[in-house]
Structure 1
Amino acid sequence: MTRFLLTPLSVAMLAGFGVNAVASENQEPLETISVLGNSEALHKLPGSAHLVSAEELEQFEFVDINRMMRAVPGVYLREEDGYGLRPNIGIRGADGGRSGKISLMEDGVLVAPAPYSAPEAYYFPTAGRLHSIEVLKGPGTLKYGPFTVGGAVNMISTPIPNETTGKVQLEAGEFGENRLHTYFGGTTDTTGWLVETHQQQADGFRKIDRAGSADIAKEDYLLKGRLNSAEGAAFAQQLDVKLQYSEEESGMSYLGLTDADFAADPNRRYGISALDEMRNRHSTLQLNHSIALSDDFSLNTQAYYNKFKRDWFKVSLGELLADANMGDADAQAILDGAMDAEFGIKHNNRNYVSRGVQVSANWQLQTGTVQHDLEIGVRRHWDEVDRFQPVENYRQINGELVYQDTTDPSSSNNRIEDATANSLFVYDQIQLGEKLALTASLRYEDVETAQQRYNDVDRREKGSSRSNSVNEWLPGLGATYAVSNAVTLLAGVHRGFAPPGGGSSEGEAGDLSTNYEWGARFDNGDLRAELIAFYSDYENAVQNCSVAVPCANGEDSGNYALGESDIRGVEALVATEWSIANGWLIPLSASYTWTEAEISRSNFDGSLQKGDNFAYLPENVFAITTGIDSGAAWRINVTAAYQDEMCVNNLCNRGTSDKFDVTESLWVMDAAAHYEFSDDLAGYLKVDNLLDEQAIINRAPDGARANRPRTASVGITYQF
């Protein structure tokens, strides 16, 4: 079940940048973790926050981030490849395309390859190695930034164990799936370490005409080290080092199916996309230092360097597929391989770098009878994306793909974009007596971006260029009132912002909104519930244009202003656990999100009108999880999730749309059974999409695509 996320005072930096404060002499060393169970901290939390815990992730042994997060209220997930390799996560109506409108982090560090200049997250941490996932909405997002229009997602990697221990997990399943996840680590009085790897392979469930299947191979390695001061030192200090490296080769494509072909076989893929493949490498260096200068004051510093290189070699045939959908026999024959044709396959070749330093101070003080938990943080960040994207030309001859020649990249595919950002936040939790708590926050973002295009492959002749400068003050205020030990009322308002990206021109401001929320929490120890309403008033909503999610004007780079917009919704969550005879337990949790969004004023060029809807935003999302736990050797868990159909463009409300403008609604059920053979050895059987229900869950950018079919897997876990 999804639980509330608490951020205790002793781990102040988790709430700010993800670096923990130093533990006292009587505490175990801490990494970037969340601690549950502090009711006082819960009552003061000025917004909606949830933790998907390690125990919850173990219930279903998911390796797909979409499945891991779908029970979190206020979150929308648009599947694409069936494995969650490049997810599309939206929060409270903020555009979910490539998760480009949320503050996406791992261990407190922005994880998008270039979060300011190219925020679309074509890299995503390997979900199968994650320890837990935090989701934060409301005024608290001002501590994370820069994306405060929707929310923040912080993924927690495996922590260094507090004793020498390890784990080996092996899994095999249908469609050639197999997985290895193992780690080993330990702790002494002044040191700690961890080594970890996650290996994932699959043949894939989509069968390519005349070419087999779309396979996947991904490997991920993680190394952590820690030094902390000895007992009795003048100041308690801790230094953490994290190194990460991953590689991926996957036969992923943007080409979907016509609706007729989807109805015949949703797992088919056209042979004209047989050469499509993603190759990428990612590396991270992260340094965290914490020092407690007194019982009330701590200082935390974090430096990071991320590098990501990718080449997604893929065909783009959206117009051909649209023609086939409209009954064009020649277009269908080309897709089927029955007619010869010439086409290009682009090397979507990009290099990303991001680096930065962030420092935060936490000071607990009292002014009269008022208690303050004050945090102040600054960050200096720089990132860059370098695109060099030639096109290989092919001819389809009797269904075979024959190479012709290579076309040098145009200036739009031969460019560098970079961004420099300076950020500041001040966050004060103010306790005004036993029942009332206020949270005052202020964030400042100063962003400078630039783009340079080149007219030749040697980059000696510069083409067009553009630059932009944006600075915004983002205030926020939240309040909680403890009606009783079980009931807490909350309300908050904050300024939403999302930077416009490296391709923006001077004067483009990015997303700007005023976000409100109000609601109540209930927790009596046996039953937890939450009901929160939210409303976002956008002065300007901006869509990031990409090949994966083209803008309303058809562009696949830069951005596009949607204009003034309104988003409103309700989030609900309930969770409990029943104890029955012989120590058996029946957990039950359910979450629901209702959202309505529309353009409230025509945009600058009149292409979008008042009343037009948001693309890829479902009105209703629901999830329920239950099971039975014997309290001894075995347990069974079942989860079901529903998502409404979605409009794929902004025009569905006009009444002129057809079936190609919407996806399909879908119920999906997953199940898992675990059996513990001993304290160290356990086995499990899991079935994703138990009822084998498939639907059109995505049409962007080129045709209909289905969710993953029923997939059964068996696994074994040994801990030592």
Structure 2
Amino acid sequence: MRDVHKERHLARFSLTPISVALLASLSTGAFAEEKPETLETISVLGDTNQIEKLPGSAHLVSAEDLEKFEFVDINRMMRAVPGVYLREEDGYGLRPNIGIRGADGGRSGKISLMEDGVLVAPAPYSAPEAYYFPTAGRLNSIEVLKGPSTLKYGPFTVGGAVNMLSTQIPNESTGKVQLEAGQYGENRLHTFYGDSTDTAGWLIETHQQRADGFRDIDRADSADINKEDYLLKGRLNSAEGAKYAQQLDVKLQYSEEESGMSYLGLTDADFAADPNHRYGITALDEIENRHSTVQLNHSIALTDSFSLNTQAYYNKFKRDWFKTSLGSLVDSANAGDADAQAILDGTMDYDFYIKHNDRTYVSRGVQVSANWQFQTGGIAHDLEFGVRDHYDDIDRFQPQDNYSQIDGELVFVDITDPSSSNNRIGKADATSLFVYDQIQVNEALALTATLRYEDIATSQQRYEDIERTEKGSYRENSLSEWLPGLGLTYQLTESVTLLAGAHRGFAPPGSGSSDGEAGDLSTNYEWGARFDNGSLRTEVIAFYSDYESTVQNCSVAVPCANGNDSGTYALGESEIKGVEALVATEWSLANGWLIPLSASYTWTDAEITRDNVDEDILAGDNFAYLPENVFAVTTGIDSGADWRVNLTAAYQDDMCVDNSCNRGDVDQFARTESLWVVDAAAHYDFSEDLAAYLKVDNLLDEQAIINRAPDGARANRPRTASVGVTYSF
């Protein structure tokens, strides 16, 4: 029964998207012979055949992978991808910290984050830390790209790119309703409906997520979550037989979130007593945000071998994170200060403030890419080139409300106007170009040559008064970088492919940078092999990055080594080396059952390579929040008919919380704790259209200190069971 349901589901959707740059099937002679129903132009990887041809590591977390566990947390969705590091913070993945190949994972600020091929960080050039992240529960699939091919997307090429694909317009009348309820007041609704004709299509979708939260606040309620996301898509495409095959897509998105999230963690003693509580002094901490997107895509095949794709986009993100900043109390209490502990416990009166971290982000741009396939002297070229004109800004106006804690109650006092550091506007204008040529030299050897150019101008204006009539300090910076890359694949046998690549890594420094600051600059190398004989797939890739300039983005969430919580901090020269490994197979039993098995592993070693005595940075210092070992394994039993059970286990090493904890003579507060987490899910299909599932996150209820930033120890999510039902029509 399940196979029939699966075939019907795949028939409804065209889920093999055409790459933004490749448009492979659109720009070949085969297009004229068999016109696809829709021309998806939002993927960065293309189909699985294109993935195998890439000179670097590329991974697709497919719709089927996501369905196995019904995850709504991006950390759980991506943790099996080798070369990726994930640092939890709130237990729900609302504001993830994703790093790739050693690039700093703080607020995912050193990777190119995209949704449907468009940069999605609120202000990727002027304020790259991603305080907005797409609602993971509505995603259809996730693409992760590393190596020279990342130069096509940028601007962050030191680590990699993550592209999240939203639900696609179906090829026929199709809908789905998913309802889920679980522990800690968790419930969600995910539903969509769409239809297509020969020349048009549309989709409407919503994802609603609510929870009481698993952290109880002293003398108050729990830390609740309320998130709503709405998506509307439309498509117009040329009729069969038209002179030029073309398509216009429109995407509108809007989301809201209210969640009682705080930056204040726990002392280690309080964590040991109860990792799932919060101090009452944080009872008023809450974030509210709104996000909206308008995206237009146009694709046209001018000939059998030449096509154009144009994307215009506008994103706006408004947030106010009303939160305390009392990390010094946690540090003092950890050091044995009884008064600090009494304030946290609510037994001592204390005057403090809660800041409105009120920011508005805007990003907009146009990007045009072309694909031209041709031959020179019997050598096939798949040439792509493109340009992007982009603007973004961030407006901070952050007053603070002053409070007194009296007998454990929070009493409002007055409001303090923002200082100049909390009253500023940052801007960035960027123009980027890329040329990417995939050259098939012969049946075995393929080369890829890439060149990217980034031209960036940033500025930051601070104001001395709330009317913004009196200007304060002003910073501006301009920089341009040429970023070349070269990769190759060699098919040694029908099952074995060798690969190697080198490229220039870059990450812009943000609008708070001063004149002459270059951001991250590195030379990245990788080499390895893939094996795939149809029943067993393995991949082993070694990577090495030589940084001539390493820059940390400072924020309250991830303060820099010098204590700053804004601007940037230069760590100097460094190097990162590591190995990624992946294995996947599936066994068929005599009774028709299937047992899939996949495992991934990443080993990473990173260190500063040159002293900077003025900043207390020494050669040999480690990278903060970078685990040495990350491992994940997934297996299960599939009846091949009505039911299936899946199990996944993930491990992450302990991590240093600063750059100097490997010098010796450090206490427990300088490191997080290692952790194994096991998740399980079981599905049962009542019919082709109706299914139910039971899932348990953190099956063994193992909790540890997985993060000490910002402001104290915090735990991963405890064991949480949920039941759900899906109905497709």
Map 1:57-96 → 2, pairs under 5 A: 57-96=66-105
Match 2:405 to one of 396, 402, 408:
396
Q: In the TM superposition, what is the alpha-carbon distance from 1:43 to its structure 2 partner? A: 4.6
Partner of 2:596: 587
Which residue identity lines up with residue 574 of structure 2 in the other structure? S
Map 1:587-626 → 2, pairs under 5 A: 587-603=596-612, 605-626=614-635
Map 1:667-686 → 2, pairs under 5 A: 667-686=676-695
Q: Does 1:304 align with 2:309?
A: no
Is the 1:12–1:362 contact (alpha carbons within 8 Å) kept by the matching residues of 2?
A: no
RMSD value, Cα: 1.6
Distance, in Å, in 1 between the alignment partners of 2:186 and 2:592 is 36
Q: In the TM superposition, what is the alpha-carbon distance from 1:231 to its structure 2 partner? A: 1.5
Q: Does 1:444 align with 2:453?
A: yes
Partner of 2:250: 241
The structure-2 alpha-carbon separation of the partners of 1:221 and 1:252, relative to structure 1 and needing over 3 Å to count, comes to same
Q: In the TM superposition, what is the alpha-carbon distance from 1:37 to its structure 2 partner? A: 6.6
Match 2:20 to one of 1, 13, 19:
13
Match 1:482 to one of 481, 491, 515:
491
Map 1:66-465 → 2, pairs under 5 A: 66-465=75-474
Q: In the TM superposition, what is the alpha-carbon distance from 1:212 to its structure 2 partner? A: 1.3
Distance, in Å, in 2 between the alignment partners of 1:43 and 1:418 is 39
The structure-2 alpha-carbon separation of the partners of 1:12 and 1:55, relative to structure 1 and needing over 3 Å to count, comes to closer
Distance, in Å, in 1 between the alignment partners of 2:431 and 2:612 is 30
Partner of 1:701: 710
Partner of 1:4: none
Match 2:535 to one of 510, 514, 526:
526
* Residues paired across the two proteins, number: 711
Is the 2:16–2:46 contact (alpha carbons within 8 Å) kept by the matching residues of 1?
A: no
Q: In the TM superposition, what is the alpha-carbon distance from 1:36 to its structure 2 partner? A: 7.5
Q: In the TM superposition, what is the alpha-carbon distance from 1:30 to its structure 2 partner? A: 2.6
Q: In the TM superposition, what is the alpha-carbon distance from 1:257 to its structure 2 partner? A: 0.3
Q: In the TM superposition, what is the alpha-carbon distance from 1:598 to its structure 2 partner? A: 0.2
Aligned residue for 1:213, secondary structure, equals: coil
Q: In the TM superposition, what is the alpha-carbon distance from 1:485 to its structure 2 partner? A: 1.1
Q: Deviations over 1:248-286 (max 9, x none)?
A: 000000000000000000001000000000000000000
Partner of 1:28: 37
The structure-2 alpha-carbon separation of the partners of 1:424 and 1:499, relative to structure 1 and needing over 3 Å to count, comes to same
Partner of 2:3: none
Which residue identity lines up with residue 11 of structure 1 in the other structure? I
The structure-2 alpha-carbon separation of the partners of 1:266 and 1:312, relative to structure 1 and needing over 3 Å to count, comes to same
Which residue identity lines up with residue 186 of structure 2 in the other structure? E
Is the 1:14–1:108 contact (alpha carbons within 8 Å) kept by the matching residues of 2?
A: no
Match 1:665 to one of 674, 677, 702:
674
Distance, in Å, in 1 between the alignment partners of 2:273 and 2:421 is 38
Aligned residue for 2:601, secondary structure, equals: strand
Is the 1:9–1:373 contact (alpha carbons within 8 Å) kept by the matching residues of 2?
A: no
Is the 2:362–2:393 contact (alpha carbons within 8 Å) kept by the matching residues of 1?
A: yes
Is the 2:21–2:369 contact (alpha carbons within 8 Å) kept by the matching residues of 1?
A: no
Q: Deviations over 1:80-119 (max 9, x none)?
A: 0000000000000000000000000000110000000000
Distance, in Å, in 2 between the alignment partners of 1:33 and 1:117 is 25
Is the 2:43–2:117 contact (alpha carbons within 8 Å) kept by the matching residues of 1?
A: no
Q: Does 1:44 align with 2:34?
A: no
Partner of 1:578: 587
Which residue identity lines up with residue 208 of structure 2 in the other structure? Q
TM-score, scaled relative to structure 1: 0.97
Q: Deviations over 1:34-81 (max 9, x none)?
A: 788754x44531100000000000000000000000000000000000
Distance, in Å, in 2 between the alignment partners of 1:275 and 1:120 is 24
Match 1:558 to one of 554, 562, 567:
567
Map 1:539-550 → 2, pairs under 5 A: 539-550=548-559
Q: Does 1:645 align with 2:645?
A: no
Distance, in Å, in 1 between the alignment partners of 2:52 and 2:206 is 38
The structure-2 alpha-carbon separation of the partners of 1:9 and 1:628, relative to structure 1 and needing over 3 Å to count, comes to closer
Q: In the TM superposition, what is the alpha-carbon distance from 1:606 to its structure 2 partner? A: 4.1
Is the 1:566–1:599 contact (alpha carbons within 8 Å) kept by the matching residues of 2?
A: yes
Aligned residue for 1:582, secondary structure, equals: coil
Partner of 1:491: 500
Which residue identity lines up with residue 165 of structure 1 in the other structure? T
Partner of 1:5: none
Q: In the TM superposition, what is the alpha-carbon distance from 1:541 to its structure 2 partner? A: 0.5
Partner of 1:3: none
Distance, in Å, in 1 between the alignment partners of 2:613 and 2:454 is 25
Q: Deviations over 1:462-520 (max 9, x none)?
A: 00101000100000000000001110000000000000000000000000000000000
Q: In the TM superposition, what is the alpha-carbon distance from 1:13 to its structure 2 partner? A: 1.6
The structure-2 alpha-carbon separation of the partners of 1:37 and 1:428, relative to structure 1 and needing over 3 Å to count, comes to closer
Q: In the TM superposition, what is the alpha-carbon distance from 1:456 to its structure 2 partner? A: 0.2
Q: In the TM superposition, what is the alpha-carbon distance from 1:607 to its structure 2 partner? A: 1.4
Q: Deviations over 1:210-259 (max 9, x none)?
A: 00100000000000000001112111110000000000000000000000
Identical pairs, percent? 79
Q: Deviations over 1:442-463 (max 9, x none)?
A: 0000000000000000000000
Q: Which runs of 5+ in 2 are unaligned?
A: 1-14
Distance, in Å, in 1 between the alignment partners of 2:138 and 2:612 is 43
Q: Does 1:569 align with 2:578?
A: yes
Q: Which runs of 5+ in 1 are unaligned?
A: 1-7
The structure-2 alpha-carbon separation of the partners of 1:684 and 1:34, relative to structure 1 and needing over 3 Å to count, comes to farther
Is the 1:19–1:300 contact (alpha carbons within 8 Å) kept by the matching residues of 2?
A: no
Distance, in Å, in 1 between the alignment partners of 2:253 and 2:293 is 5
